[in-house]
Amino acid sequence: MVNFSKNEDCPASDELLAFQTGGLTEVEGTAVRSHLATCEFCTAEVDFYSHFPQSEDAFETAQMPKPLFDLAQALMSKIKDNSFFKKLMDENGDVSSAKPKGASSNDIGRKSAR
């Protein structure tokens, strides 16, 4: 069975993408072309790039929204009081309509803990 994977001699994916988009020098392109003659995996990768063009923006990381970051940070540090969560809910939409009639904001958190 043939090992269909990259090996130590294979060019990096960004180099194969540059080859497919014409972004290599003549010498670099010749080296990649020579490699492609003997490597089915890299040939398939270049073929993939020709069918599914990659944008440069695809590699930028997205910013996590601040409320989500703050929530994750609070959960990670295991904050005991719920003032942070109450403030977060007030900033991002009032959920008071979701509580049963006659229940206070503090009752909602306690019901799930019972």
Taken in order 66, 67, 68, 73, the sign of the CA dihedral is positive
Please classify residue 16 by burial: count the beta carbons closer than 10 Å to its beta carbon, then call 0-12 exposed, 13-18 middle and 19+ buried: buried
pTM of the model: 0.47
Model pLDDT for residues 27-61, shown as the tens digit of each residue: 999 999 999 999 999 999 999 988 887 765 555 56
What percent of the chain shows pLDDT beyond 90?
29
| Domain parsing of the chain, residue ranges | 13-59, 66-113
